[in-house]
Amino acid sequence: MSHTLIWTDTPTGRTGRRTAWAVAAFDGHGRTLYATHPLDYADIARRWYGHLTSQPRTDRVEITEIATVLTERRIGLEQLPVPGALVDLPLVPDGAHSIKRFYCFNVGPRVLRTPEDVRDYHHWLRGQQEGGQPNAMRVCLATLELFEVTLVRYEQPIPLADVPE
């Protein structure tokens, strides 16, 4: 199975899911002998599992499934928190290990970390449309869309049998 982000469209945006696997080998005292970075393909995770299981010092091998759920929700500039206000992070859902939120427009940088970054970039874009610079970034402001993006990461140990073929 590939690491391809699988998207589902919703009326206000879209949701994507990506799955990866990490493999770790431990000795008889529970110390980590080797651990991979997240692997994008299930067949590679299976090969690492087989390789690490065959090593003489290995007592056990664990596979961790790492699922990342990305949600893009269309919002308007007026829905951003007021300037200077503290921005509450979303609550971490049950079973999740981390959550992050950022913003992006359908044109330009993919990550704007704060509402102030969004306002600054929007102001800059408006100035680009009004200026007469030949190399200015041209965007139709009427079709500009703003998205609030939330990334939720889940990690759980799984048996080899649950790794897709």
pLDDT, position 1? 42
Instruction: List, for residues 128-140, the tens digit of each pLDDT value.
Output: 887 767 777 788 8
Kindly report the average pLDDT of the chain as a whole number. 89
d(CA 72, CA 63): 29
This prediction's pTM:
0.78
pLDDT value at position 3? 57
Mean pLDDT of 121-131: 86
Give the alpha-carbon dihedral of 34, 37, 43, 48, to 10 degrees: -10
Neighbours of 62 (CB within 10 A): 17
Residue 24 near residue 62, CB atoms below 8 Å: yes
The per-residue b/e assignment along 23-59, b for 16 or more CB within 10 angstroms, e otherwise, is bbbbeeeeeeeeebebbeebeebbebbeebeeeeebe
